[in-house]
Amino acid sequence: MEGVRPEAAVADEPGMVLVRAPRPWVAGIDGGGTRTRCWVASLDGTLLGRGESGPSNYMVVGAEAAARALDEALRAALTEARVRARTETGLSGGVRESQAASATPSGGAPGTATGAPLAETPTAICLGMAGADRPDDQRVLTEALAARGWQGWPLHWVNDAAIVLAAGRTEGAVAALIAGTGSIVYAQAETGADGESGPAVRVGGWGPILGDEGSGYDLGRRALVAVLRAADGRGPQTALTEKILAELGLSSPFALPPLVYRGGLDRPRIAALSRIVVACAQAGDEVALGLVRSGAAALAELVITALRRLGRLDEPGVKVVVAGGLFADGSPMWEWVRQALAELCPQASIRLIPLPVEPAVGAVLLALTRNSLARMSPSQAWDLPGSGLFVRLRQSYEAWGTSASQL
C-alpha cells in the first residue's frame, strides 16, 4: 500500500483547496472464516470508512489468501472514507483528482472538514483474527502483509472473540460468545485499578477438525451427514434432504460426497447450510431440531466452562455478549442457547446480550487504547463519560446508519 507522504499544498489555482498535513488514523479488523470487515477511524473516535472482503482465517485459507483479504478490506475502508469525505466536504470540486489520489495510500481517504488527507501509515491496527492466536501464526501473517505494503506497521493481534468482548464491555459483559463459521468463548476480568487487564480465558475455537462445536459449519456438516444417513436408510427421513439438495442444485443425496471431496463445497458454503437447519427446526423437523438443540448445548457448555474458569459462574445476572451468523436477524438460536444454559447449569443466572456495535468497531477501540497518544486503558475509554472514546465511536457508528443486529 504505497503512497507519497503529502506536505501542505499551496492553493496556486483558482478553486483549489489547501491540503493540510496528514492526519493520523487507526484501523480495526474483524477477520473470520466467512468474511473480513474493517473500520478506519481518526484518533478522536470518528469512524471514517468501512470495508469488506472474503475470509481471512489463516488456518483455513492460508497466509497469502488471508493477507489478501485483510489488505482488500483495508483498501475498501480507505476508499469509502475518501468518497464519503469528498461528498461531505465538497473536495471533488477543489483538489485535482490526481493530486488527491497521490496524497493518500492506495487512493486512501482525505480527512474530514479540514481537508487533511490521512497519513501514509496507520498509528495502529488491531486485528481480531480467527485462527491467528499463536506468535508463529502472527509472524507468518505479518510477513505476508509486509509483502503487500504493510511493512513496519504497528499491528496488534488478538483473537476475534477479544474484539467482540471489547465492544460488549460497554454493556457490562465479562465474556463473549461467537458462533459463526466457527465457535469460541473468550472471557476476561475487568481492568483493575492499575489499568492492567485481568486474566483471559479462552474455551473452544479449535477449528473444524478439532472443535468448533455448535458453529454454523458444525450444524451444516452434521446436516449433510443426516441427509446421507436418511438416504442409506440408517437414519430418519428429514426435510433437510429436499431443502439442502435444492440449495446446492443437486438431484440426489449421493451427489453430495463428490461435491464435498472434490472441493466444490468449501467450509463457508457448508456453514451457510446452517440457515436451512435452523429454518427446518423452526418448522418442526425432528432431525433438524435434534441438530440445533445439540449445537445449542455445545455453545452453552463453552459459556459455562469459561465463566467457571473465570470465577464468575455464580454471579447473579452475569452478562455474555453474543455475535456471529447463527445469532443474526433474531435467530431462534438465542432461545435455544438460553434453554440449554438453564438445563446444563440451572443454578446460574447468565444473561445473553446483543452487540452494541460491530466487532470491528471493538477492534478500533483496542487500536485506539493501545495508541500511546490516547494514554488510557480500555476500561478508561469505556467509562469516561461524555467524551469517552467508545461514546464517540458508538455515536459515529450510529450516524453511519449501521445496525449491529445485521451482523
Looking at the fold, whether 192 and 216 belong to one and the same domain comes out as yes
Angstrom distances, CA of residue 306 to CA of 202, 293, 300? 7, 20, 10
Looking at the fold, whether 294 and 223 belong to one and the same domain comes out as yes
Angstrom distances, CA of residue 143 to CA of 28, 38, 193? 19, 20, 37
What CATH number is given to the structural domain containing 294? 3.30.420.40
In this structure, is residue 16 part of a structural domain? no
The three grid cell numbers given for residue 19, joined into one nine-digit string: 491540503
Q: Is the pLDDT of residue 8 over 90?
A: no
pLDDT score recorded for residue 96:
35
In this structure, is residue 237 part of a structural domain? yes
Higher-pLDDT residue of 163, 17: 163
Looking at the fold, whether 311 and 338 belong to one and the same domain comes out as yes
pLDDT score recorded for residue 81:
84
pLDDT score recorded for residue 404:
39
In this structure, is residue 17 part of a structural domain? no
Q: Is the pLDDT of residue 106 over 90?
A: no
Q: Is the pLDDT of residue 384 over 60?
A: no
In this structure, is residue 12 part of a structural domain? no
Q: How many domains does the chain have?
A: 2
Looking at the fold, whether 189 and 322 belong to one and the same domain comes out as yes
Looking at the fold, whether 215 and 118 belong to one and the same domain comes out as no
Percentages helix, strand, coil for the chain (3-state, rounded to 5) are 50, 15, 35
DSSP code, position 36:
E
Question: Confidence band (pLDDT; 50, 70, 90) for 190?
Answer: low
Looking at the fold, whether 229 and 314 belong to one and the same domain comes out as yes
Q: Which of 394, 332, 367 is nearest to 43 (CA)?
A: 367
Looking at the fold, whether 327 and 190 belong to one and the same domain comes out as yes
Q: Which of 71, 73, 55, 74 is nearest to 130 (CA)?
A: 55
Average pLDDT over residues 141-164: 91
In this structure, is residue 4 part of a structural domain? no
Average pLDDT over residues 172-185: 91
Residue 87 CB coordination number (10 Å): 10
Containing structural domain, residue 176: 171-355
**Whole-model pTM?**
0.74
pLDDT score recorded for residue 108:
35
Looking at the fold, whether 234 and 287 belong to one and the same domain comes out as yes
pLDDT score recorded for residue 392:
82
In this structure, is residue 396 part of a structural domain? yes
DSSP letter for each residue of 301-317:
HHHHHHHHHHT-TTSTT
User: What is the percent of the chain with per-residue pLDDT over 90, rounded to a whole number?
Assistant: 52
Looking at the fold, whether 55 and 202 belong to one and the same domain comes out as no
How many angstroms separate the CA atoms of 163 and 154, rounded? 17
Looking at the fold, whether 327 and 383 belong to one and the same domain comes out as no
Looking at the fold, whether 293 and 210 belong to one and the same domain comes out as yes
pLDDT score recorded for residue 147:
93
Residue in the structure block whose three cell numbers are 435452523: 278
Looking at the fold, whether 239 and 287 belong to one and the same domain comes out as yes
In this structure, is residue 101 part of a structural domain? yes
In this structure, is residue 196 part of a structural domain? yes
